[in-house]
Structure 1
Amino acid sequence: MVRSGLEENLKRQNFVCVKAVDEQGSVVGHASWAFSGAGSGRASSRGTDDKKSAAEDDQVEEPGKPENRSDIEEDPIERLHALEDADTQYWLQSLVPKDTPCMFVVGLTVSPSYQGRGVGGALLRHGNAISEERGLPIWVHSSHQAYATYVKAGFVTRRELRIDLGDYAPRPPRDGEATIAGKHDGRWGEYVIRYMERKPSEN
């Protein structure tokens, strides 16, 4: 699924992807960015793409509870997906400035055996260099696990979605079962999705 999505994105003129390889030439990570507005030309080519991004659609209201549909209310996973989708759309359509060209981090993946070795940071620095060259801010929808990596790369949180996993899990954790907080207190813990921005330097 990831490969097919990446192959489709690579056909777009407002998309760029870079890979990290080890000494043997094996891919150990990759990152990708999309360009919105006047900054949408591919980083390695001239010209722009006149396609509108999701951030350029009409504004939406700040999300509250998901739409009251019986199929959503009965399925906790569907309720969680609806909450995340609504919050993401609010971020894209209401928080990202429509009149400012920008970049979006589309994906950041590092092989498990190479995590914690600076690969993710090196990949993000590639995007940051494009940002500085073009004077574009970068936005990202950061997972709970990737937050520290983005902070180190200069990203600042603009909005948070805090999710109590116990509200959506089918059961409480069993004795000794790992949780988000690493505590054994009978709770799954809180998962935080962060919408972050990195502004280019003013020099």
Structure 2
Amino acid sequence: MPVTVERVVHPADLPTLASLHQAAFGPYPTHDLLWRDADPEAERRWLASIFAGPLKKPDEPMFKAVDEDGRVVGFALWKVKPGKGEEQPKEDEAFPDLPEGADVELTKEFFGKLDALRNTYGDEGPHIHLDTLVVSPTAQRKGVGHALMAWGLAEADERGVPAFIEASEQGFGLYQKFGFVRTQPDLACGPNGVVAVTPMRRSPRKASQSAKVTVHRVSDPAELPTLAALARTAFSPYPTHRLTWADASHQDEQRWKVTKYTRSLEKANEHMFKAVDGRGEVVGFALWKVLPAHDGAKAGDAEETLNFPNGVNLELTKELFAKVGDLRTTYGNGGQYIHLDTLVVSPTAQRGGIGRALMAWGLAEADRLSAPVFLESTPDVAAQRVTSFTSGAASSGRAKTSQSAPSPSHQ
């Protein structure tokens, strides 16, 4: 699901965030035990009052994920924290009284243990803390959580500091994908320890390994020349490009690629996304195809119907497309599948997490459909390795997963 991640700055957003929080956590036992008989509207007002605090603090940024229809489908609250002994004096903050009907005793026990745990994070010095991550039940397993994680992890990596979270059972698998590891036994309270979270920590990575980008669906043909130029810039250093495009002019190559991408925009089962950095520049794009079981047609036939311009090494290019077409006919032997047709990242932005961000939609869609994913990889396969692809003779395939699995399984 393509979303735009925006900083929350207006109090008018807070009731929506409170409702999302209630909808996301309402089905779980922890919610029932803590909120017990409280009026739902009173609960939402209480949550909104809690979320109002960070709006006044520049070191507690809150972000919302907005879908293509303008709906808020998730939010995250990050806190940039100093080390122990480096804290600035704080103004007294009154914790708002819980509404009537909530289990005050259990809530105080839980938050007391949580505060004690969080106070230990500063022992390592400055750090980043993910206080809250919420995704709408209708948008889960669609890449929204990934998008909301990007800012905090990039910030931690730039500062060279660890990141901490307290994971719910439902979020544990997501955080593991981002490099978080359990640091100690679950923090638990309530009957049989049912109110529980898992303390997790992520070590900082080199700043180049993370990126602050937003991913948007490509729908306007006016964007395609930019993508075509980016593809040429990214692939022109490689021998395959030099040998196949040979003496073709840049302009002819550009027109050919724009025609190819235009056809994709016209097909309901082909989805193109672009990655935009903080300066508004397009730094990558991906073309995904959702395809039915094998029907005997060559997957490469569509490319072969495009007329190649003068200067292309036709013999080599036709041989390449024929072999790729033969390979792709094998993908659908097991039923419906997802194909990553194209993944391009600007050479100036590679190894910055952009490839992973662009892969999020297709992998989430595959998990939703319980379908495998296939691609043909270039020599630089870092993004594929970290997203659970395994190499075949000439391609990579991602294992079929079930929607209920907390994280993808592997063949």
Q: TM-score range by the shorter chain?
A: 0.5 to 0.7
How many angstroms apart in 2 are the aligned matches of 1:17 and 1:107? Answer: 9
1:3 aligns with 2:48: yes
CA contact (8 A) 1:87 1:161 kept: no
Distance 1:166 1:7 in 2: 31
Match of 2:88 among 24, 47, 50: 50
1:137 is matched with 162
Of Structure 1 and Structure 2, which has the larger fraction of its residues in helix?
A: 2
1:160 shift after superposition: 2.3
Structure 1 segments of 4 or more deviating over 3 A? 77-83, 162-168
1:47-76 Cα distance to aligned partner (Å, 9 max, x none): x98346xxxxxxxxxxxxxxxxxxxxxxxx
* In structure 2, distance between residues paired with 1:79 and 1:49: 29
Distance 1:164 1:8 in 2: 26
Deviations 1:56-115 (A, max 9, x none): xxxxxxxxxxxxxxxxxxxxx66754653443233223x424351011111111111101
Partner of 2:129, secondary structure, is strand
> Contact 1:160/1:193 (CA < 8 Å) preserved in 2?
no
Cα distance change on mapping 1:25 and 1:92 into 2, 3 Å: same
Q: 1:106 to 1:164 in 2, by over 3 A?
A: closer
Structure 1 residues 119, 32: closer, same or farther in 2, change over 3 A? same
SS at the partner of 1:121?
helix
Higher RCO (C-alpha 8 Å, min separation 6) = 1
Gaps of 5+ in 2: 1-45, 91-102, 208-411
Residue identity opposite 2:167 in structure 1: S
Distance 1:15 1:163 in 2: 26
1:84 to 88, 101, 110: 110
Work out whether residues 163 and 202 of structure 2, in 8 Å CA contact, stay in contact via their aligned partners in 1.
yes
Q: Is the 8 A contact 2:128 2:161 kept in 1?
A: yes
What one-letter code is carried by the residue in structure 2 that aligns with 1:88? L
- Aligned runs of 1:142-161 on 2, under 5 Å? 142-161=167-186
Equivalent position to 1:33, from 68, 78, 89: 78
| Number of aligned residues | 148
Q: Tell me, what secondary structure is at the counterpart of 1:133?
A: helix
Alignment map for 1:116-131 (pairs within 5 Å): 116-131=141-156
CA distance in 2, matches of 1:50, 1:97: 13
Secondary structure of the corresponding residue to residue 197 of structure 1:
strand
Report Cα offsets for 1:148-180 as digits up to 9, x if no partner. Answer: 111112111112226597537xxxxxxxxxxxx
Report Cα offsets for 1:15-69 as digits up to 9, x if no partner: 111111111221111111111117xxxxxxxxx98346xxxxxxxxxxxxxxxxx
Cα pair distance change 1:29/1:100, threshold 3 Å: same
* Percentage identity across paired residues of the two chains: 29
For residues 134 and 114 of structure 2, what CA distance do their matches in structure 1 show?
Answer: 20
115, 130, 134: which one pairs with 2:140? 115
TM-score by length of 2: 0.32
Structure-2 change in CA distance of 1:14 and 1:158 (3 Å): same
Kept after mapping to 2: 8 A contact 1:160/1:192: no
- Give distance in 2, aligned partners of 1:167 and 1:133: 41
The structure-2 alpha-carbon separation of the partners of 1:143 and 1:51, relative to structure 1 and needing over 3 Å to count, comes to: farther
* Aligned partners of 1:14 and 1:49 also within 8 Å: no
Partners of 2:109 and 2:189 within 8 A in 1: no
**Aligned-partner Cα distance in 2 for 1:162–1:34:** 20
Aligned equivalent of 1:98, options 100, 103, 123: 123
> Which residue in 1 is equivalent to 2:201?
197
